[in-house]
């Protein structure tokens, strides 16, 4: 535009300047366009990366929540297993103690039975040749054998309790046996 305003400037020379001027503007416009395009591509890539990072962050947070829940579940399971183990150990100890008590009780029962048999043999040796009432009768109201003094510790109980119950039945002893019969019979008493 300066060449045009100059007096005496040639037309031809002005066209060349216009072309140069136009080429510079075209070059600047192309460079600015490329830079805008690069800026747009960079902004798009960064935006995509940003969204991808946000998605990954949410996924990682979800994974972290799941891992925390799994950790909590594992801790609960470990606690419950520990409690179960403790209860199992307690049960084993109690079972062992019960087994020991049962062995002691069986041993005492065998000893009592031996003593009862000894007592019965001793008493039966003294009864020859008579029959003796021993103070045991069947109580119909309670449906069981009862001693006159309500004692349940006598060793002869073990042998007698297997006798069949009868109406107004009493137990007698001889030198060879223990049996039951009608209470109205007359026998000596022990």
Among 127, 159, 178, residue at a domain's last position: 127
pLDDT in tens, 101-156: 999 999 998 888 888 788 888 888 888 788 998 888 888 888 888 888 876 555 55
Q: Is the domain of 48 the same as that of 134?
A: no
Q: Is the domain of 185 the same as that of 112?
A: no
Residue 8 resides in a domain: no
| Residue 161 pLDDT | 63
* CB-based contacts of 140, cutoff 8 Å, min separation 6: 167, 168
Residue 65 scores a pLDDT above 80 = yes
Among 79, 95, 127, residue at a domain's last position: 127
Q: Is the domain of 141 the same as that of 114?
A: no
Residue 52 scores a pLDDT above 90 = yes
Query: Cβ of 171: how many Cβ atoms within 10 Å?
Result: 22
Instruction: Give the whole-angstrom CA distance, residue 133 versus residue 68.
Output: 82
Cis peptide before 129 (omega within 30 of 0): yes
H or E segment and range at residue 181: strand 178-182
| Residue 58 pLDDT | 95
Residue 9 scores a pLDDT above 50 = no
Model-level pTM? Answer: 0.43
Residue 83 scores a pLDDT above 80 = yes
Mean pLDDT over the full length of the chain: 83
How many domains would you assign to the chain? 2
Mean pLDDT (whole number) for 17-42: 85
Residue 11 resides in a domain: no
């Amino acid at each position: 535009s300066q060449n045009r305003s100059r007096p005496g400037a040639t037309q031809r020379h002005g066209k060349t300047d216009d072309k140069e001027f136009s080429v510079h503007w075209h070059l600047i416009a192309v460079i600015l366009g490329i830079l805008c395009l690069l800026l747009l591509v960079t902004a798009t890539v960064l935006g995509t990366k940003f969204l991808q990072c946000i998605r990954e962050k949410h996924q990682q947070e979800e994974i972290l929540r799941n891992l925390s829940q799994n950790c909590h579940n594992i801790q609960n399971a470990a606690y419950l297993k520990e409690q179960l183990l403790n209860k199992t150990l307690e049960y084993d100890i109690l079972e062992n103690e019960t087994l020991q008590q049962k062995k002691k009780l069986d041993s005492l029962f065998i000893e009592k039975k031996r003593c009862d048999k000894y007592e019965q043999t001793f008493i039966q040796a003294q009864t020859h040749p008579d029959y003796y009432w021993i103070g045991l009768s069947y109580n119909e109201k309670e449906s069981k054998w009862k001693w006159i003094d309500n004692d349940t510790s006598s060793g002869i109980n073990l042998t007698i309790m297997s006798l069949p119950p009868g109406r107004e039945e009493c137990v007698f002893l001889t030198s060879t046996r223990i049996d039951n019969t009608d209470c109205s019979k007359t026998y000596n008493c022990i």
